[in-house]
Structure 1
């Protein structure tokens, strides 16, 4: 977000609001207010995907054209899950700041959990000039419960080394390294053992006890040195999904294994094809000697039984000279697919339709809807994913206003159909990187992480 804070009205200025939502690993220090833990634990146990930073939205409360120094700015964040459904309980861990990079000025924003899926953020406006607001999702409420659980039950997931040294036979020097940790009757620290298993080093003033496994050949009094030992990862696979939702080369390959993936759409969908080819080294692109802008393109991974296809969505299509025979309608392609548990069909339809009446676009979308319904009728275990239109155009040929109307038609047409809708509109509109109809690598990677979470939720 950019604001002008100079104590006077600024007539004619255009204010641009940006939301930066990033998922990062972090340790939860303190929950501001406690949500309904039972609901969250139930959600975690049933495989709930958690809060999605891509779908979470915000509004500026009582927005004004200019502000006085010392005033307060309030932002309301509305948390949504990966299905773009509003959350009804709190517990998400957000961090917010007001800053301006050029002057290196910044101030922290106070986040208050309203316990209903919404959060109020309060900023003090302390300087003249411009400022930018960044709101980051550190942990979803589901991930917070995982973090809290391991804090309370797995304190020994960090352990330490104790070094015992002392004289041995024939003027030798004995050395033993053992595991040490705090003595506590809970939090997993009792797993070190009981009875005579350990040496206990008591501090009489603090009344705390440092506990080490008993060395085999040396007395407890021979403890000489201390160091960090290491980490134990006790997260279950489901918990790992909640804490980290980023896919590596290995997990991407595993997710795509034994899948036939058909992509149709415009050049922003082709960016997804290109991402997978780069992300999975074993995917080899074949040269079909066609116009690259319109396809068809294909990449094959024989080792992992993956075939990846992309082609343009048919006319109207702004492209270079292309064989008419290579331009297929999306609905016709879907009609020609048998479908099944190994088939994934992904499509988008957007920028090339912005110069046409909305009823023409609606006609095209409804024809695709009919084809999708038929596909899911004959093969209900087929995965269908729809990518919405992203932002980027500001002129009369492709204004974002046009694109927004197309997105609304897409959502309306498929609201009752068993498909995934990956809504990239807000991801591209609110990202900190420069806006472009062809999003940069950071945004594409974020889109791919969500796409893969649809394909491989477990």
Structure 2
């Protein structure tokens, strides 16, 4: 046997041939030079510190992790299939500072994501049947190695370069009436100006604060939102305009919901953590239960993977018709077809878990924003509107600020008077037992979505048949799929909850169906079929792109519905206001509503009921499940589109 003498070697270093090692080094230097050159050519950019993995060779099931500090992507860990066979991957030298534009980083991310997507598509999917819905398909588990993660903060994020001293402070900020009058008349326009100041009573010079204003007369249960919302002038000042539609003493209230700095933080977390928290998937096998994390992506389980590295298998339950993704980590010795129940993880409900995604300064600002904070008035906080003969209310339709082309497709632009919503679009149906029964006679009503549309289901049934009571036990045991049949009037009312994601207690996967698939599968009979839809409340734990994808799947199913049944009316209900609970906050909901309007307004035989406006100013406050009087008013507007012939013709 030939032996090596001291000072000699056989062409190998650490298991690598010398010529191969030299090739790798040349490749690394060339790649590094090209990147630096491209950065110089692209000009100034945000400084990014990349701490790399060592130069190495990757096998088929290995991973690549690029660690990025001081960037809104925080710690970037991209996992995926690199290729078959040995491939050379060159990483930057540890702690080497470079300059890289967001576009370049996004290009890297897109490239790696594309590679990962191709890998998933290359997996051999073996579809088998099980005791789960047909769409909840079993597949060969996706095998992913997840690298250790380390939480950092996005200190270089352009929109979050702030200190608490410049944040809007409601105790020093104020509003005032522009050109006040001693007495106002019906249909006058009341305009107020809101000035944002910080805690040091210095005027802010930038906008972006999330404000809410309303006028109200609590003695007659009347209230209204600004005609065109709170207008941001991007200089620290805001205006709100109100058309005065009832007489008497009217109070003004202005609230700070979130400062611009909090909005910046919420936006960052939403966009760079598109799958926050976790859901529990309950697997059953031979009487044995195993709980495993689930979400809309296999790369969701960030918090629990910190400082660990392991190989996980994921069951891919992506819906084959809508493309809606859903993944669960596969428990050892369990098959993917043993997935039986789903529930929101207790970790996801914990506000402290959500707060870990924010910097210390952001956390402090968030904690101050847990409740609406009222902005002080400058001198006057109420006005008086005089009575004109016997007229005490007016829609002021001749001078309305509304765009008719838009309001034809959006119900609920209006105001409250004596606890009744006065629509500015059209007169509404009085939601009495007689009117609702007559409107829905010989109809099938399909209510699809979340628990807020289930409130409509419950109200309709108990109005048509007041003696019929839906017990709490029924709501607990059958809360995701309920049907009611009124044989006397030939009315069928059906409620089904949408599928993943769903923030709830344990429920069977058999009870969950995607809204688009239900619209495609349920029969439609022209005007004798009605759809009421509601999605949004469970989607604040995802990002805008994901929610838009879900909406577009529903939109396509509505188009197919109208191809086979053109006269079937579809009413889409927006999300409503709620008490802020971490990631279930009103700004996230408001943003989702904006997408909902974009996708559905203007579709033939589709009406969007903006219940956000109806819950915004009501005296009962902001609740995810509004009080019964609000539900009654919501349905009054919806049914006025279903049965316009039954609507009262008198105008105010």
Taking structure 2 as the reference length, the TM-score comes to 0.39
Aligned to 1:404: 590
- Paired residue secondary structure (1:316): coil
C-alpha distance in structure 2 between counterparts of 1:283 and 1:262, whole Å: 22
**Quick one: structure 1 residues 63 and 117, their matched pair in 2 at CA, closer, same or farther if it must change by over 3 Å?**
farther
In 2, are the aligned partners of 1:331 and 1:368 still within 8 Å (CA)?
Answer: yes
In 1, are the aligned partners of 2:249 and 2:382 still within 8 Å (CA)?
Answer: yes
In 2, are the aligned partners of 1:58 and 1:77 still within 8 Å (CA)?
Answer: no
- Paired residue secondary structure (1:76): strand
**Quick one: structure 1 residues 454 and 96, their matched pair in 2 at CA, closer, same or farther if it must change by over 3 Å?**
farther
What is the aligned counterpart of 2:463 among 269, 276, 279?
Answer: 279
C-alpha distance in structure 2 between counterparts of 1:457 and 1:56, whole Å: 25
C-alpha distance in structure 1 between counterparts of 2:541 and 2:547, whole Å: 10
C-alpha distance in structure 2 between counterparts of 1:393 and 1:336, whole Å: 36
- Paired residue secondary structure (1:374): helix
C-alpha distance in structure 1 between counterparts of 2:602 and 2:586, whole Å: 26
In 2, are the aligned partners of 1:261 and 1:346 still within 8 Å (CA)?
Answer: yes
C-alpha distance in structure 2 between counterparts of 1:269 and 1:63, whole Å: 37
Instruction: Please tell me whether residue 98 in structure 1 is matched to residue 284 in structure 2.
Output: no
- Paired residue secondary structure (1:427): helix
In 1, are the aligned partners of 2:439 and 2:643 still within 8 Å (CA)?
Answer: yes
What is the aligned counterpart of 2:435 among 225, 247, 251?
Answer: 251
C-alpha distance in structure 1 between counterparts of 2:467 and 2:602, whole Å: 35
In 2, are the aligned partners of 1:286 and 1:300 still within 8 Å (CA)?
Answer: no
C-alpha distance in structure 2 between counterparts of 1:60 and 1:252, whole Å: 38
What is the aligned counterpart of 2:501 among 303, 312, 316?
Answer: 316
> CA shift at 1:58, angstroms?
5.4
**Quick one: structure 1 residues 140 and 337, their matched pair in 2 at CA, closer, same or farther if it must change by over 3 Å?**
closer
- Paired residue secondary structure (2:247): strand
Matches within 5 A, 1:299-314: 299-314=484-499
> CA shift at 1:437, angstroms?
1.0
In 1, are the aligned partners of 2:251 and 2:383 still within 8 Å (CA)?
Answer: yes
C-alpha distance in structure 1 between counterparts of 2:620 and 2:556, whole Å: 37
> CA shift at 1:293, angstroms?
6.3
Aligned to 1:448: 635
Question: What is the root-mean-square deviation in Å for CA atoms of aligned residues?
Answer: 4.6
C-alpha distance in structure 1 between counterparts of 2:569 and 2:464, whole Å: 21
- Paired residue secondary structure (1:353): coil
In 2, are the aligned partners of 1:18 and 1:430 still within 8 Å (CA)?
Answer: yes
> CA shift at 1:289, angstroms?
7.3
> CA shift at 1:316, angstroms?
0.9
> Which sections of structure 1, spanning at least 5 residues, go unmatched?
25-52, 67-73, 79-91, 120-134, 144-240
How many pairs are equivalent?
Answer: 296
**Quick one: structure 1 residues 332 and 142, their matched pair in 2 at CA, closer, same or farther if it must change by over 3 Å?**
closer
Matches within 5 A, 1:326-337: 326-337=511-522
In 2, are the aligned partners of 1:295 and 1:311 still within 8 Å (CA)?
Answer: yes
> Which sections of structure 2, spanning at least 5 residues, go unmatched?
1-170, 177-195, 202-209, 254-380, 387-393, 403-414, 646-652
> CA shift at 1:260, angstroms?
0.3
Instruction: Please tell me whether residue 355 in structure 1 is matched to residue 631 in structure 2.
Output: no
In 1, are the aligned partners of 2:442 and 2:528 still within 8 Å (CA)?
Answer: yes
Instruction: Please tell me whether residue 420 in structure 1 is matched to residue 607 in structure 2.
Output: yes
Taking structure 1 as the reference length, the TM-score comes to 0.54
**Quick one: structure 1 residues 455 and 351, their matched pair in 2 at CA, closer, same or farther if it must change by over 3 Å?**
same
Instruction: Please tell me whether residue 338 in structure 1 is matched to residue 490 in structure 2.
Output: no
Instruction: Please tell me whether residue 385 in structure 1 is matched to residue 571 in structure 2.
Output: yes
Aligned to 2:329: none
**Quick one: structure 1 residues 315 and 294, their matched pair in 2 at CA, closer, same or farther if it must change by over 3 Å?**
farther
> CA shift at 1:116, angstroms?
3.6
Matches within 5 A, 1:42-441: 57=228, 59=230, 76-77=241-242, 93-95=245-247, 97-99=249-251, 107-109=383-385, 116-118=399-401, 242=427, 245-281=429-465, 292=477, 294-340=479-525, 341-418=527-604, 419-441=606-628
C-alpha distance in structure 2 between counterparts of 1:312 and 1:57, whole Å: 33
**Quick one: structure 1 residues 409 and 62, their matched pair in 2 at CA, closer, same or farther if it must change by over 3 Å?**
closer
> CA shift at 1:16, angstroms?
5.6
CA offsets, 1:282-307, max 9 Å, x none?
78579997954642111111000001
**Quick one: structure 1 residues 436 and 113, their matched pair in 2 at CA, closer, same or farther if it must change by over 3 Å?**
closer
In 1, are the aligned partners of 2:251 and 2:382 still within 8 Å (CA)?
Answer: yes
CA offsets, 1:247-282, max 9 Å, x none?
211111111111100111111111111111221117
